[in-house]
């Protein structure tokens, strides 16, 4: 009877996470512009064919996203969604752009963790950082990290805008969260982040 109860809890947790990931995937698909290919042609057109408005700085933009931890390496290797446990974060932030090449980002990330058939908000991360902006929508962000769980560290982020519209820019990012403290071994992870920036 006890084994059946644990199996049912694991199955319920797995189902709830599959529903959550499916919902996030559907929302992302709905938010992605339908004329992505046409936009990429316009964005790659010669400058003589585009009317480019000169940006005025500083400029403040906000963004919404979700982040999936993929793997964390410490004393052992832990994969997200293994052993009936998983987590997903929802970073929201403000970017203050000082030029075409430099900016500063303020980000707050609440994390929801599901384990044993239940889910809860497990952590809040504050990670400000400098933005080094390059051509073609590529940005490297060097973030500090302060977690309410007691961990701290830094997070290099490699961000790429993959579609632009009048109202929002869609981006995907890979990050390498490196954490210390709270009487635990140092760790490094790999995260996938997808979201959109308001223009």
Which residue intervals of 36-167 are DSSP H helices?
36-43
174 touches 186 (CB < 8 A): no
**How far apart are the C-alpha atoms of 81 and 65, rounded to whole Å?**
19
**How far apart are the C-alpha atoms of 24 and 198, rounded to whole Å?**
19
125 touches 109 (CB < 8 A): yes
146 touches 124 (CB < 8 A): no
The CATH number of whichever domain residue 180 belongs to comes to 2.40.160.20
**How far apart are the C-alpha atoms of 81 and 170, rounded to whole Å?**
26
Helix (H) or strand (E) holding 115: strand 102-115
DSSP class of residue 82 equals B
Q: Which residues have a Cβ under 8 Å from the Cβ of 113 and sit 6 or more positions away? A: 85, 86, 87, 119, 120, 121, 122, 123
* Of 61, 45, 26, the residue nearest 169 (C-alpha): 61
Strand ranges, E, within 116-151: 118-126, 129-133, 138-147
What does the pLDDT look like over 13-60, one tens digit per residue? Answer: 455 555 655 655 555 555 555 555 444 444 555 554 445 567 799 999
**How far apart are the C-alpha atoms of 163 and 172, rounded to whole Å?**
10
* Of 73, 76, 91, the residue nearest 179 (C-alpha): 73
What does the pLDDT look like over 64-118, one tens digit per residue? Answer: 999 999 999 999 999 998 877 899 999 999 999 999 999 999 999 999 999 888 9
Domain span holding position 192: 2-198
| The model's pTM | 0.74
What does the pLDDT look like over 152-199, one tens digit per residue? Answer: 999 999 999 999 999 999 999 999 999 999 999 999 999 999 999 999
89 touches 194 (CB < 8 A): no
Number of domains in the chain: 1
């Amino acid at each position: 009877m006890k084994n059946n109860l644990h199996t049912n809890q694991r199955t319920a947790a797995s189902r709830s996470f599959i529903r959550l990931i499916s919902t996030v995937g559907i929302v992302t698909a709905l938010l992605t512009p339908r004329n992505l290919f046409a936009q990429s042609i316009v964005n790659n057109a010669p400058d003589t064919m585009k009317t480019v408005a000169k940006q005025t700085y500083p400029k403040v933009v906000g963004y919404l996203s979700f982040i999936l931890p993929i793997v964390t390496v410490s004393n052992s290797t832990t994969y997200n969604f293994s052993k009936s446990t998983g987590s997903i974060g929802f970073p929201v932030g403000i970017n203050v752009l000082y030029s075409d090449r430099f900016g500063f980002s303020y980000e707050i990330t609440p994390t929801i963790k599901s384990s044993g058939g239940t889910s809860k908000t497990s952590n809040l991360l504050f990670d400000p950082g400098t933005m080094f902006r390059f051509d073609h929508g590529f940005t490297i962000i060097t973030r500090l990290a302060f977690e309410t769980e007691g961990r701290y560290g830094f997070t290099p982020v490699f961000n790429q805008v993959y579609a632009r519209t009048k109202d929002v820019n869609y981006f995907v990012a890979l990050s390498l969260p490196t954490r210390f403290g709270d009487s635990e071994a140092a760790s490094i992870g790999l995260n996938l982040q997808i979201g959109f920036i308001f223009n």
